[in-house]
């Protein structure tokens, strides 16, 4: 893994994409000197580095033109020193934000996370990589509480194996959906107890218009969706999978209200954040 230079100065830079770099301690300090930054992609970066901790409010709007950020940081240890949240604070102006599962794991260990995160006033689409740990759902709740104009949420479940771990009551108390949120997609859904409970909770939302569930065909048992009860809301549940599995879900999940389900009999396809936003705008 190569080491990124300790000092750099790119005042006119608009796009930065780094993969598997060791980022120096001064990385965030020098990167803030690129006020025209529009797209930032950090993939598997950050081993053995620490971000300089700063609560300078002037840094929050430094990247006012930031359209999209995709962050996958890998630090050598998990602690509560606020290294990852300090960097996330600088992304407050972003419109499309991807936080991979490695970032979420670090945020899970931070104390007073909700107080350390910024207000994402421009954020329209949020994509999160969540593990099977309940703490990850708590991080998602904190992030959603910091948004006011978000339209779509994309959840990708990582390291997914079926299990019996359910959501603890506090998870339900923390989860608040902004009124602007209309679409949620859940990918690699394998049917863990906490996933099913989360889906059931979301189906009861009065603000959501559509939930898309893309099943992990390797481990997903369609019978696990039988526990879901019909929702009184107008939210549409769309299940995506292969034709055989989709038909089995419709046949076995008789306790679901058919009027709230539309199965796409096709193989999984990836949807870009902009596609979700365009689809929502078209419906409006």
Give burial (CB, 10 Å; 0-12/13-18/19+) of 16: middle
Is the Cβ–Cβ distance between 113 and 145 less than 8 Å? no
Split at pLDDT 50, 70, 90, the class of 265 is very low
DSSP 8-state code for residue 23: P
Choice between 31 and 158, residue whose per-residue pLDDT is larger:
31
Cα distances from 284 to residues 180, 244, 281, in angstroms, run 12, 33, 5
Choice between 43 and 227, residue whose per-residue pLDDT is larger:
43
CB neighbourhood size of 229 (10 A)? 12
Query: How confident is the prediction for the chain on average, in pLDDT?
Result: 76
CATH code at position 59: 3.80.10
With a cut of 90, say whether residue 119 has pLDDT above it.
yes
Split at pLDDT 50, 70, 90, the class of 270 is very low
What is the model's pLDDT at position 2?
86
| Helix 134-144 and helix 193-203, axial crossing angle in degrees, nearest 10 | 30
With a cut of 80, say whether residue 136 has pLDDT above it.
yes
Q: What percent of the chain has pLDDT over 90?
A: 31
To which H or E segment does residue 213 belong? strand 210-215
Mean pLDDT lowest for which of 9-13, 47-51, 102-106, 115-119?
47-51
With a cut of 90, say whether residue 268 has pLDDT above it.
no
Q: Rounded CA gap, 42 and 44, in Å? A: 7
What is the model's pLDDT at position 255?
47
Is the Cβ–Cβ distance between 110 and 82 less than 8 Å? yes
pLDDT, tens digit (0-9, with 9 covering 90-100), for 51-104? 544 445 555 567 889 999 999 988 776 665 677 888 898 899 999 999 999 899
Give 24's contacts (C-beta < 8 A, 6+ positions apart): 3, 4, 5, 6, 49
pLDDT, tens digit (0-9, with 9 covering 90-100), for 209-260? 999 988 876 656 656 665 565 455 678 888 876 444 445 444 444 444 444 4
What is the model's pLDDT at position 223?
61
Token pair for 130: 């969540």
Q: Rounded CA gap, 275 and 257, in Å? A: 28
Q: Rounded CA gap, 11 and 78, in Å? A: 33
Cα 222 to the center of its chain, rounded Å: 24
* Residue 105 phi, psi (nearest 5): -60, -40
Terminal-to-terminal C-alpha distance of the chain: 46
Instruction: Give the residue numbers spanning the domain of 126.
Output: 2-283
CB neighbourhood size of 88 (10 A)? 26
What is the model's pLDDT at position 168?
56
Q: How many domains does the chain have?
A: 1
* Alpha helices (runs of H) in the chain, residue ranges in sequence order: 27-31, 83-89, 101-108, 113-116, 134-144, 169-174, 193-203, 243-252, 273-283
Choice between 178 and 245, residue whose per-residue pLDDT is larger:
178
What is the model's pLDDT at position 271?
43
Token pair for 103: 């970032």
Highest mean pLDDT among 95-109, 167-181, 269-283: 95-109
What is the model's pLDDT at position 92?
93
Looking at residues 138-154, what average pLDDT do you find? Answer: 94
Prediction pTM value: 0.78
With a cut of 90, say whether residue 125 has pLDDT above it.
yes
Residue whose tokens read 């292969």? 242
With a cut of 50, say whether residue 266 has pLDDT above it.
no
With a cut of 90, say whether residue 12 has pLDDT above it.
yes
Torsion angle of the four alpha carbons 21, 24, 25, 29, in this order, in degrees rounded to the nearest 10: -90
Q: Rounded CA gap, 81 and 9, in Å? A: 27
Choice between 8 and 241, residue whose per-residue pLDDT is larger:
8
What is the model's pLDDT at position 170?
58
């Amino acid at each position: 893994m190569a080491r990124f230079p300790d000092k750099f100065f790119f005042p006119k830079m608009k796009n930065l994409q780094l993969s598997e770099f060791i980022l120096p301690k001064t990385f965030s300090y020098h990167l803030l000197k690129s006020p025209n930054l529009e797209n930032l992609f950090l993939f598997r970066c950050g081993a053995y580095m620490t971000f300089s901790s700063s609560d300078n409010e002037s840094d929050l709007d430094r990247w006012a033109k930031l359209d999209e950020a995709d962050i996958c940081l890998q630090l050598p240890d998990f602690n509560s020193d606020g290294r990852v949240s300090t960097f996330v604070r600088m992304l407050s102006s972003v419109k499309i934000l991807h936080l991979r599962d490695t970032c979420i794991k670090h945020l899970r260990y931070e104390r007073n996370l909700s107080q350390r995160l910024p207000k994402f006033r421009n954020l329209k689409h949020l994509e999160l990589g969540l593990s099977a740990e309940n703490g990850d759902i708590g991080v998602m709740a904190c992030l959603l509480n910091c948004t006011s104009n978000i339209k779509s949420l994309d959840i990708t479940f990582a390291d997914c194996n079926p299990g019996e771990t359910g959501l603890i009551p506090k998870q339900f108390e923390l989860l608040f959906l902004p009124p602007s949120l209309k679409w949620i997609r859940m990918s690699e859904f394998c049917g863990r107890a906490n996933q099913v409970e989360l889906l059931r909770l979301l189906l009861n939302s009065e603000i959501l218009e559509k939930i898309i569930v893309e099943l992990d065909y390797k481990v997903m048992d369609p019978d696990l969706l039988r526990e879901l009860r019909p929702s009184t809301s107008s939210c549409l549940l769309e299940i995506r999978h292969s034709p055989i599995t989709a038909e089995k879900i419709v046949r076995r999940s008789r306790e679901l209200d058919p009027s709230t389900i539309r199965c796409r009999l096709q193989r999984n396809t990836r949807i870009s954040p902009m596609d979700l936003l365009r689809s929502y705008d078209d419906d409006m």
